[in-house]
Amino acid sequence: MTQAAVLAALLGAVLWGSGVLLGGSLGLKESSRHAEFWWVLLAIFTGGFTTLSNIGVLNLSIDGVTYLRTLPLIAVGLLMVFSTLRKSPVIPSFAFFLVPVFLIMFAFVVNNQVLMTLLSLLTFLPVLVVPKGGYSFVSVRAGALVGTLVLLIALGGWILVDPNGLIGPCRGDKCSVWGVALGPYGLGNALGMVLAVVAAITILLSSRVIGIILCVGGSYLLVNLTSTRTGELVWIAGVVVAIVYWLTLATSRLWLVRIAALVSAGVVIVWPFLGWTGDAFTGRGALWIYAKQLVLESPWFGYGSSFWVGNSASDAVDRNYSTHNLTTEMLVSVGIIGSLALLIAMLLALARRRSIRVAALTASLFSLTFLASLTEVFSAPGRVYLMAGLIVLLFLVSESTIVDAAAAAFEASAASSGRRRAGSSMRSGRPAAVSPSDAVPADSDGQPDAVSPGGGASVAAADPAF
């Protein structure tokens, strides 16, 4: 079965990669000129590649993995901030709530373990001060897709070079349909989680049906092969999020994806308080019970992000790497005050609307960030594991704008056509008729809304990157 699993893994990588390439132009020539392209590329690639250390084939210490996951993002993020400060910097409204979250964490550092909190804060820098005109949405999109391609190439290449190191026996209680696992004995859990989230992102960003189909099929082969039940559930949730996203664009009803986002958040927030027993979800229930006890002892400001893993384990609780739920993680780290500040920051990003496509993608990432942290802590302030960049990407997308030469040419052409008809009508004494091609829905910022393929005039239709 190992040989069949190797072929399935390679097939999955090829199908998924083909879906990315066929899902719409990447526009690399223009996109790669923007620093945000490289930031998102690195967020996707390092988030996935560093999980190979869990399997044992990436010979790095825990500190080495942490640095590999964060330092590239921090380096590019600093370039983004310096570039922004030289132009017209703006502090987005959500930044005024993110900063207090980190201040609480620094105030409650345990055993001088300040490094993780500091690295997380530096990862957030590009969204604490942003360009007045916003980041390039086309560059953000291209960075995510190219980052996925690089990750798939690296993973596929490693499987070819060392198939026995990556693929082996399953853990007793879970296995893939191939009878073996990508990550022997359950060590592929982290990889499966990252692949599931990245799959959802690539499906969201594909603009052609063939690309979506290939991404769905290829990604599922890889996620299933990691033998992670949570990963498969997140993959399914990601597909549902993508369906809601495309329904939103097809109907121009933004409330659809925003309600889905609020429901996702609500489920994750109440989940650990539903009276689970200690053995629920392979022992996660015990972590939630203990976390709730800690919160009752220090409810308002918590204990700092380093407490859970940095405090003595003399209480005989197997702490693992986190509390395995975003709600309990933030309550332990920053208490009720900090948790509310983070929630408000995320809601402000959710409410931001530059165009319907940007707003819908922000809402989808909002859902994805919560759903991936239902029984894990996938991405959160103060944490750099599993994927430090996902929650930052949510805020980055909310501050992105679809503005490029193709969109400008489209708008100029429509305006010119309208002026010619207006002049003609004045000479003839008849009111000017408006053709469907001129009826471009616009947001308050004057940018035309993007709609689904076949849904009428849009920036997506004019921009070859979509």
The secondary structure element, H or E, covering residue 383 is none
* Residue 425 covered by a domain: no
Q: E strands within 358-416? A: 400-401
What is residue 376's predicted lDDT score, i.e. its pLDDT? 94
Under a CB-based contact definition with an 8 Å cutoff, are residues 218 and 13 in contact? yes
What is residue 432's predicted lDDT score, i.e. its pLDDT? 44
User: What is the pTM assigned to this prediction?
Assistant: 0.87
Q: What is the pLDDT of residues 182-215, one digit of tens each?
A: 999 989 999 999 999 999 999 999 999 999 999 9
* Residue 434 covered by a domain: no
Residues spanned by the domain of 168: 2-400
Q: Exposed (0-12), middle (13-18) or buried (19+): which is 317, by Cβ within 10 Å?
A: middle
* Residue 420 covered by a domain: no
Tell me the average pLDDT across 425-439: 41
* Residue 243 covered by a domain: yes
Q: What is the pLDDT of residues 372-415, one digit of tens each?
A: 999 999 999 998 988 999 999 999 999 999 865 444 443 344 34
**Domain count for the chain:** 1
Would you say how long the chain is, in residues? 466
* Residue 99 covered by a domain: yes
* Residue 410 covered by a domain: no
* Residue 21 covered by a domain: yes
* Residue 436 covered by a domain: no
What are the backbone dihedrals phi and psi of residue 442, each rounded to the nearest 5 degrees, phi first? -130, 150
Residue 427: pLDDT band by 50, 70, 90 thresholds?
A: very low
